[in-house]
Amino acid sequence: MTVDGKRLRIAMQKSGRLSQDSQALLTSCGLKINLREQRLIAHVENMEIDLLRVRDDDIPGLVMDGVCDLGIVGENVLEELSLQRQIDNEPYNYQVLTRLDFGGCRLSIAVPQEENYQSVKDLEGRTIATTYPRLLNRYLKQNGVNARVVTLKGSVEVAPRAGLASAICDLVSTGATLEANGLKEVEVIYRSKAVLIQRRDLAESNKLNMINKLMPRIAGVMQANE
Protein backbone atom coordinates (compact mmCIF):
# COMPACT_ATOMS: atom_id res chain seq x y z
CA MET A 1 0.00 0.00 0.00
CA THR A 2 1.26 3.46 -0.85
CA VAL A 3 0.63 6.66 1.06
CA ASP A 4 -0.88 8.27 -2.02
CA GLY A 5 -3.11 5.33 -2.88
CA LYS A 6 -6.58 5.68 -4.29
CA ARG A 7 -8.33 3.97 -1.43
CA LEU A 8 -10.00 6.13 1.17
CA ARG A 9 -8.27 5.67 4.51
CA ILE A 10 -10.26 5.81 7.69
CA ALA A 11 -8.46 5.77 11.05
CA MET A 12 -10.38 4.20 13.90
CA GLN A 13 -9.58 2.93 17.38
CA LYS A 14 -8.30 -0.63 17.34
CA SER A 15 -9.56 -1.69 20.73
CA GLY A 16 -11.22 0.39 23.38
CA ARG A 17 -14.37 2.30 24.14
CA LEU A 18 -14.85 3.64 20.61
CA SER A 19 -13.92 0.62 18.53
CA GLN A 20 -17.20 -1.33 18.69
CA ASP A 21 -19.37 1.68 17.93
CA SER A 22 -17.06 2.92 15.18
CA GLN A 23 -17.13 -0.45 13.51
CA ALA A 24 -20.89 -0.79 13.92
CA LEU A 25 -21.41 2.62 12.32
CA LEU A 26 -19.30 1.76 9.28
CA THR A 27 -20.96 -1.64 8.95
CA SER A 28 -24.39 0.01 9.10
CA CYS A 29 -23.24 2.29 6.28
CA GLY A 30 -22.74 -0.77 4.10
CA LEU A 31 -19.00 -1.35 4.47
CA LYS A 32 -18.13 -5.03 4.44
CA ILE A 33 -15.33 -5.25 6.98
CA ASN A 34 -13.22 -8.29 7.64
CA LEU A 35 -11.74 -7.80 11.10
CA ARG A 36 -10.98 -11.42 11.85
CA GLU A 37 -7.29 -10.77 11.87
CA GLN A 38 -5.73 -8.47 14.43
CA ARG A 39 -4.12 -6.44 11.74
CA LEU A 40 -3.34 -2.75 11.49
CA ILE A 41 -5.06 -2.42 8.12
CA ALA A 42 -8.42 -3.91 7.22
CA HIS A 43 -9.52 -3.74 3.60
CA VAL A 44 -13.18 -3.05 3.02
CA GLU A 45 -14.30 -5.74 0.61
CA ASN A 46 -16.99 -3.91 -1.32
CA MET A 47 -15.63 -0.33 -1.47
CA GLU A 48 -12.28 1.32 -2.09
CA ILE A 49 -11.73 1.93 1.60
CA ASP A 50 -9.06 0.82 4.06
CA LEU A 51 -9.48 0.98 7.81
CA LEU A 52 -6.44 1.82 9.89
CA ARG A 53 -6.86 0.41 13.36
CA VAL A 54 -4.70 2.38 15.77
CA ARG A 55 -4.62 3.83 19.29
CA ASP A 56 -7.13 6.62 19.66
CA ASP A 57 -4.35 9.06 20.57
CA ASP A 58 -2.80 8.62 17.12
CA ILE A 59 -5.97 9.35 15.14
CA PRO A 60 -6.05 13.19 15.16
CA GLY A 61 -2.40 13.42 14.12
CA LEU A 62 -2.85 10.94 11.29
CA VAL A 63 -5.66 13.10 9.89
CA MET A 64 -3.97 16.47 10.56
CA ASP A 65 -0.82 15.23 8.83
CA GLY A 66 -2.85 13.96 5.87
CA VAL A 67 -1.80 10.35 6.34
CA CYS A 68 -5.42 9.28 6.76
CA ASP A 69 -8.39 10.88 5.00
CA LEU A 70 -10.97 10.38 7.74
CA GLY A 71 -10.85 9.53 11.43
CA ILE A 72 -13.28 8.64 14.18
CA VAL A 73 -12.10 9.97 17.53
CA GLY A 74 -13.25 11.55 20.78
CA GLU A 75 -13.38 15.35 20.83
CA ASN A 76 -11.35 15.26 24.04
CA VAL A 77 -8.36 13.69 22.26
CA LEU A 78 -8.84 15.89 19.18
CA GLU A 79 -9.05 19.14 21.15
CA GLU A 80 -6.06 18.23 23.32
CA LEU A 81 -3.86 17.66 20.25
CA SER A 82 -5.19 20.83 18.58
CA LEU A 83 -4.22 22.87 21.63
CA GLN A 84 -0.83 21.19 21.78
CA ARG A 85 -0.14 21.92 18.13
CA GLN A 86 -1.28 25.53 18.50
CA ILE A 87 1.07 25.98 21.45
CA ASP A 88 3.92 24.30 19.56
CA ASN A 89 3.18 26.26 16.38
CA GLU A 90 2.52 23.13 14.36
CA PRO A 91 -0.21 22.62 11.75
CA TYR A 92 -3.48 21.31 13.16
CA ASN A 93 -5.84 21.43 10.21
CA TYR A 94 -8.89 19.21 10.05
CA GLN A 95 -12.59 19.47 9.41
CA VAL A 96 -15.32 17.97 11.57
CA LEU A 97 -17.78 16.27 9.19
CA THR A 98 -20.24 15.32 11.90
CA ARG A 99 -20.59 14.73 15.59
CA LEU A 100 -21.52 11.10 16.29
CA ASP A 101 -23.99 9.56 18.71
CA PHE A 102 -21.54 7.56 20.82
CA GLY A 103 -18.45 8.00 22.97
CA GLY A 104 -20.13 10.51 25.25
CA CYS A 105 -18.15 11.46 28.35
CA ARG A 106 -17.01 14.49 30.29
CA LEU A 107 -13.59 15.64 31.38
CA SER A 108 -13.94 16.52 35.03
CA ILE A 109 -11.92 17.59 38.02
CA ALA A 110 -12.28 15.33 41.05
CA VAL A 111 -11.04 15.66 44.62
CA PRO A 112 -11.09 13.35 47.65
CA GLN A 113 -14.63 12.59 48.82
CA GLU A 114 -14.00 13.85 52.35
CA GLU A 115 -12.88 17.27 51.14
CA ASN A 116 -15.14 20.26 51.76
CA TYR A 117 -14.84 21.61 48.22
CA GLN A 118 -16.57 24.96 47.61
CA SER A 119 -15.40 26.41 44.32
CA VAL A 120 -12.73 26.35 41.65
CA LYS A 121 -10.66 28.69 43.86
CA ASP A 122 -10.09 25.68 46.13
CA LEU A 123 -7.76 24.32 43.45
CA GLU A 124 -5.31 27.21 43.91
CA GLY A 125 -1.75 26.06 44.52
CA ARG A 126 -2.57 22.37 44.25
CA THR A 127 -1.15 19.61 42.10
CA ILE A 128 -3.61 18.09 39.61
CA ALA A 129 -2.88 14.89 37.68
CA THR A 130 -4.32 14.45 34.18
CA THR A 131 -3.86 12.94 30.73
CA TYR A 132 -5.16 16.21 29.23
CA PRO A 133 -2.73 18.92 30.40
CA ARG A 134 -3.63 21.49 27.74
CA LEU A 135 -7.38 21.27 28.22
CA LEU A 136 -6.84 21.49 31.97
CA ASN A 137 -4.42 24.41 31.70
CA ARG A 138 -6.87 26.29 29.49
CA TYR A 139 -9.62 25.80 32.06
CA LEU A 140 -7.39 26.86 34.97
CA LYS A 141 -6.27 29.95 33.07
CA GLN A 142 -9.86 30.91 32.20
CA ASN A 143 -10.73 30.64 35.88
CA GLY A 144 -7.68 32.49 37.16
CA VAL A 145 -6.39 29.53 39.12
CA ASN A 146 -2.71 28.75 39.57
CA ALA A 147 -2.15 25.03 39.97
CA ARG A 148 0.54 22.57 39.05
CA VAL A 149 -0.43 20.14 36.32
CA VAL A 150 1.17 16.70 36.28
CA THR A 151 0.74 14.65 33.13
CA LEU A 152 0.09 10.91 33.49
CA LYS A 153 -0.74 8.69 30.51
CA GLY A 154 -2.63 6.23 32.67
CA SER A 155 -3.81 5.42 36.21
CA VAL A 156 -4.74 9.05 36.84
CA GLU A 157 -7.43 8.05 39.33
CA VAL A 158 -4.90 6.53 41.73
CA ALA A 159 -2.63 9.60 41.77
CA PRO A 160 -4.15 11.13 44.93
CA ARG A 161 -3.81 7.88 46.88
CA ALA A 162 -0.27 7.47 45.60
CA GLY A 163 0.56 10.95 46.86
CA LEU A 164 1.32 12.27 43.37
CA ALA A 165 -1.47 14.86 43.31
CA SER A 166 -4.28 16.17 45.49
CA ALA A 167 -6.81 16.35 42.66
CA ILE A 168 -7.28 14.81 39.23
CA CYS A 169 -8.80 15.76 35.91
CA ASP A 170 -10.05 12.67 34.09
CA LEU A 171 -12.76 11.31 31.81
CA VAL A 172 -15.98 10.35 33.54
CA SER A 173 -19.13 8.69 32.29
CA THR A 174 -20.93 7.14 35.27
CA GLY A 175 -18.62 8.27 38.06
CA ALA A 176 -18.21 4.69 39.34
CA THR A 177 -14.44 4.72 38.85
CA LEU A 178 -14.10 7.95 40.79
CA GLU A 179 -16.18 6.60 43.63
CA ALA A 180 -14.20 3.37 43.75
CA ASN A 181 -11.09 5.51 44.21
CA GLY A 182 -12.52 7.68 46.98
CA LEU A 183 -12.97 10.71 44.72
CA LYS A 184 -15.88 13.00 43.84
CA GLU A 185 -16.52 15.03 40.69
CA VAL A 186 -16.46 18.77 41.39
CA GLU A 187 -16.02 20.55 38.04
CA VAL A 188 -16.90 19.53 34.48
CA ILE A 189 -14.38 21.19 32.20
CA TYR A 190 -15.22 19.63 28.81
CA ARG A 191 -18.09 17.57 27.33
CA SER A 192 -17.06 15.16 24.62
CA LYS A 193 -18.49 12.84 22.00
CA ALA A 194 -16.96 10.93 19.13
CA VAL A 195 -16.63 12.89 15.89
CA LEU A 196 -15.88 12.06 12.27
CA ILE A 197 -13.06 14.23 10.98
CA GLN A 198 -11.57 14.76 7.53
CA ARG A 199 -8.20 16.07 6.48
CA ARG A 200 -8.35 19.66 5.24
CA ASP A 201 -6.38 19.30 2.04
CA LEU A 202 -8.30 16.34 0.63
CA ALA A 203 -8.75 16.99 -3.10
CA GLU A 204 -8.95 13.61 -4.88
CA SER A 205 -12.37 13.55 -6.50
CA ASN A 206 -12.88 9.78 -6.11
CA LYS A 207 -12.35 10.09 -2.35
CA LEU A 208 -14.58 13.15 -2.06
CA ASN A 209 -17.27 11.28 -3.99
CA MET A 210 -17.06 8.36 -1.59
CA ILE A 211 -17.38 10.72 1.38
CA ASN A 212 -20.38 12.38 -0.25
CA LYS A 213 -21.99 8.97 -0.51
CA LEU A 214 -21.13 8.01 3.05
CA MET A 215 -22.40 11.14 4.80
CA PRO A 216 -26.15 10.68 4.15
CA ARG A 217 -25.82 7.04 5.20
CA ILE A 218 -24.22 8.10 8.49
CA ALA A 219 -27.00 10.62 9.04
CA GLY A 220 -29.54 7.88 8.32
CA VAL A 221 -27.95 5.46 10.76
CA MET A 222 -27.92 8.09 13.51
CA GLN A 223 -31.54 9.00 12.83
CA ALA A 224 -32.53 5.34 13.08
CA ASN A 225 -30.73 5.11 16.45
CA GLU A 226 -32.65 8.02 17.95
Instruction: Report if residue 74 touches ligand ATP, rule: CB under 6 A.
Output: yes
- Three-state DSSP at 109 gives strand
**H-state helical runs in the chain:** 19-28, 59-64, 75-87, 133-142, 176-180, 205-225
Instruction: Report if residue 56 touches Zn ion, rule: CB under 5 A.
Output: yes
To the nearest whole angstrom, how small is the minimum distance from the Cβ of residue 57 to ligand ATP?
5
For 45, other C-beta atoms within 10 Å of its C-beta total: 10
Exposed, middle or buried, 9 (CB in 10 Å: 0-12/13-18/19+)? buried
The span from the CA of 12 to the CA of 39, in Å, is 13
Instruction: Report if residue 58 touches Zn ion, rule: CB under 5 A.
Output: no
Q: Which range touches ligand ATP (CB under 6 A), out of 11-19, 27-35, 91-99, 122-130?
A: 11-19
Cβ proximity to ligand ATP, 56 vs 187, nearer residue: 56
Instruction: Report if residue 56 touches ligand ATP, rule: CB under 6 A.
Output: yes
Residues within window 110-149 making contact with ligand ATP, judged by CB under 6 A: none
Instruction: Please tell me the total number of residues recorded for the chain in this structure.
Output: 226
Name the site residues for ligand ATP (rule: CB under 6 A): 13, 16-18, 55-57, 74, 76-77, 103, 105, 171, 173, 192
